Structure formats: C-alpha cells, structure tokens
Amino acid sequence: MYELYYWPAIQGRGEFVRLSLEEAAAPYADVARGERGVDKMMAFMNRDGVGTPPFAPPFLKYGRLLIAQTANILLYLGARHGLAPKSEAGRLWTHQLQLTLMDLVAEAHDTHHPVGVDLYYEQQKHEAARRAESFRKARIPRFLGWFESVLVRNPKGPGHLVGGRVTYADLSLFQAVAGLKYAFPRATARALRKTPHVAALHAAVAARPRIKAYLDSERRLPFNESGIFRHYPELDG
C-alpha cells in the first residue's frame, strides 16, 4: 500500500498525486489526514535517520522508496500504473507536460503570495493585485493556449494530451483547470472559450468513473483559501 504525505486541510500539490492514485485504483493511505498525521509527516522531514529527506510535501512512501516532488512522484506512478506511455520519448513528453503544469501551479500560488510564503495574503494584497492582473491577462491565456495546441497536434486526436489513452498529464490538466476555475472564474471562463479542447478534456476527466467517484467522495476536499488555488474576488479582475 502506498503512503501519501501531504498537508491534510488542502488539495494543494498532493491532489495531483491523489488523482493518479484514484484513476489507477491503487490502494493508498493519506497519512497526514489520519490521527497525529501531521506529526508523522513532519518526522520524515526532520528525522536524522531519513536518508532522502523531502524538502517539502507531497511525498510518497512505498516500501523502502521515499519520493518527493509532485512531478517526480507522477513519473514513478505513471510508469507503474500505465498512466504514461512505455516509450522513452512518450515518457519524457508526458513528464514535460507535467512539469509545465507545475510551473502554472507555482505561478497560480504566487498570485496571492507574490512577496513570500512566510507572510500572509493580507500582508501582500497590494502586490497580489498587480501579480494577479499579469497572471490573468498574460499567463492563463498563454498556458491554456499552449495546452490547446498540444491537444490539437496530438496525432491520436484531441481527446488526450499524449496518445490515445489517459495519462497522468490529462488528470493533472483537469486539476489545474479546476483550480483556475475556482480561483479566477471570470478570467478562466474567458480563456476556456478560446481553448475548447482544454475545456472538453477537463469535462471528460471529471466524468471518468473512478475520478467521478473520487470527486463525489469525502476524500476530495473542497478548494479553500488555505490552498494553492484561492478565490479572492478582488484578484479575478
């Protein structure tokens, strides 16, 4: 059984891992959501005996293997559970898509924390307003436009980012779009009108039976204003 460690009160970066585990129907424990879970998580980050300590959650434990960095975890899970192509070129391309999504996630986070993660949003609202404007006007269209072009160019059709089957990149694009729709509903709706295949992929992933069951379950936390994607109306323009 996999052990996933991530902050228990938010979707955050851990959600990208959860979606792949759920689609794979892979048994996992969401450790930090259990009793004394955060203590157990922090122990891995502070314990002297840990040879490969994570810099930050999420991390995944499986037997003796301890893997951190969201995209790295998905690289591992994708190969094990058929959520990535078997060929080297296909694996690298899927990973490249994921890494680009992680860049988008980091930029989305920084809209409400442009000055620093050691300060609250309320301490950087002025800077956040400027950063969010740039994110809405320049970055959301650029990122979603790029993913649209990837879908259009897929020789197996625009239903998936890579080849003709679902990969972790599809699941992650769903999550990124879900987060953007929550945090920036107006700006994201505008961008999605110009990226219909991205919008269709988001809907198709949400309708996949295992993903739908997960999204309808209590395991799926709602988005909130402690997470990466936060809805502050003043930042949506």
Q: Which residues contribute to the site for a copy of itself (CB under 8 A)?
A: 48, 50-55, 64-65, 67-69, 71-72, 75-76, 88-89, 92-93, 95-96, 99-100, 103, 106, 110, 114-119, 124, 127, 130-131, 133-135, 138-139, 143, 146, 149-150, 153, 155
177 within 8 A of 101, measured Cβ to Cβ: no
| Beta carbon of residue 134, minimum distance to a copy of itself (angstroms, whole number) | 3
Nearer to a copy of itself, 163 or 214 (CB): 163
CA distances to 23, 40, 171, 235 from 67, rounded to whole Å, are 20, 16, 20, 34
Query: Which of 43, 119 has the CB closer to a copy of itself?
Result: 119
- Count CA within 13 A, CB hemisphere, residue 90: 18
Give the C-alpha distances (Å, rounded to integers) separating 214 from 67, 130, 151. 23, 36, 25
CA-based torsion, 51, 16, 176, 222: positive or negative: negative
**43 vs 213 by CB, closer to a copy of itself:** 43
Query: Do 33 and 57 meet the contact criterion of CB atoms below 8 Å apart?
Result: no
Token pair listed for 186: 């107006």
C-alpha–C-alpha distance, residues 36 and 38, integer Å: 6
Sheet architecture: strand order including 59-62? 28-30, 2-5, 59-62, 65-68
Residue 139 or 160: the one with the smaller Cβ distance to a copy of itself is 139
How far apart are CB 55 and a copy of itself at their closest, in Å?
Answer: 5
Residue 71 C-alpha from the chain's centroid: 9
Q: Which is nearer to a copy of itself, 150 or 211 (CB)?
A: 150
Query: What's the min distance (Å) between Cβ of 29 and a copy of itself?
Result: 20
- Is the alpha carbon torsion for 221, 175, 69, 20 positive or negative? positive
Which is closer to a copy of itself, CB of 48 or CB of 218? 48
CB of 40 to a copy of itself, least distance (A): 19
Minimum gap (Å) between residue 119 Cβ and a copy of itself: 7
- Shortest Å distance, C-beta 221 to a copy of itself: 24
